[in-house]
Structure 1
Amino acid sequence: MSLTAELKKYADESAQRHPGEAQVVMKKAIDDLVASQMIAQAYKTGAKLPEIILNNALNTEVNVYDILKEHKVIIAFYRGNWCPYCNIQLRALQQAIPEFEAKGAKLVVIGPETPDNSLTTKEKNELTFEVLSDIDMKVARNMNLVYEMPTDLQELYKKFGIDIEGNQGNTNFELPIAATYVVEQDGTISYHFLEEDYKLRADPKAILEAL
């Protein structure tokens, strides 16, 4: 099953588990995000990747431009280990690692989690690639990928038992949109996927076609 199909299957099942008001709240949050046109300001194909220096799950500093000296880089932004769609995406990306590397690309993912929570994400999904911790989403914000969760969505997530504050180590209630990039060795973005709907992610097949 493709990532796209797997995400749709989970979304359909989730809608059955959480019908009514929960669906209204989540759909309105997406619709409002679309209406804000924030994606218009996000980094896209043709732009130069900004400097990205973040700590990984072991709290060791990683400079993405150091990786670019030897490889193309795939960068995927995720929301947190509490997000089932993110976990599905990360596992699908892990399965595609041999194909990515055969095309000379390395994968890194960036999330707003603290390093300890990034380590949980890495271990839970058995990931072999770098999971970088973007504290307070400084990198994602610089790339215009950050939005503030509306209050009703915050309350819904709390009812679901999701601890955004504990996961991120702050009280900002901000998240990155679903974003994936392919970056050439000179730092130029050659592929982008940007989506306000958190249930949609770049499929590994599309990423491979862009490499």
Structure 2
Amino acid sequence: MNNKMIKPRNKAPEIDINLVNDTRWKFSDQKAENFVMILFYRGKHCPICKKQLEELQRKLHKFTERGISVIAISSDTEKVAKETYDEWEISEIPIGYEFPIEEARKWGLFISSGIKKEPDHFIEPGMFLLKPDGTMYWESIQSMPFGRPGFNDVLAGIDYI
């Protein structure tokens, strides 16, 4: 159940997560000039996530030019996340894996139960812009795989800010 949201201007929970390149990513270690964008995605089983992350890869330079650090995170296992990284065209995006469902709940993310070849439980999409000090600036949370904000809209909003 999604009963918790991080309100703007409030601190977001710390994230300290393994990446597919065998390093760790910790929010408090990020040196973003303007924002950190955290993109939570459903996992390798989701074709819409593949499309979204590959679009992010193509536009990643537009975020970095604006002083925005980016990470994409799923609850996929290490093995599945590394397969995703190898098979999708996302080579420049830091990819975190095994994000705990209980941590996802702290972010207000929806949790789904898998059917067929999906994992038993996985997180639904969410996109967050955090200030470098860890406070929430903007968030978009979906309960299903569709209806995600477009990156051009996010970039336009950042330019407006």
State the TM bucket, normalised to the shorter chain. 0.7 to 0.9
Which protein is bigger by CA-based radius of gyration? Answer: 1
1:210 aligns with 2:151: no
Q: Which runs of 5+ in 2 are unaligned?
A: none
Residue 177 of structure 1 deviates from its aligned partner by 2.2
Where in structure 1 do 4 or more consecutive aligned residues deviate above 3 Å?
none
TM-score normalized with structure 1 length: 0.67
User: Which amino acid in the other structure matches residue 208 of structure 1?
Assistant: L
- Considering fraction of residues, name the structure with more helix: 1
Equivalent-residue separation in structure 2 for 1:210 and 1:187 (angstroms) = 19
Q: Which runs of 5+ in 1 are unaligned?
A: 1-35, 165-172
Equivalent-residue separation in structure 2 for 1:115 and 1:138 (angstroms) = 18
Equivalent-residue separation in structure 2 for 1:133 and 1:121 (angstroms) = 11
Identity over the aligned pairs, expressed in percent?
24
Figure out how many residues of one structure are paired with residues of the other and give that number.
156
* Counterpart position of 1:15: none
Residue 135 of structure 1 deviates from its aligned partner by 4.0
* Counterpart position of 1:58: 21
Equivalent-residue separation in structure 1 for 2:75 and 2:118 (angstroms) = 13
TM-score normalized with structure 2 length: 0.86
Of 125, 148, 151, 1:178 maps to 125
What is the root-mean-square deviation of aligned Cα atoms in Å? 1.9
* Counterpart position of 1:70: 32
User: Which amino acid in the other structure matches residue 70 of structure 1?
Assistant: A
Give the alignment of 1:81-100 within 5 angstroms: 81-100=44-63
Aligned partner of residue 81 in structure 1, secondary structure: coil
Equivalent-residue separation in structure 1 for 2:124 and 2:153 (angstroms) = 18
Q: 1:187 to 1:88 in 2, by over 3 A?
A: same
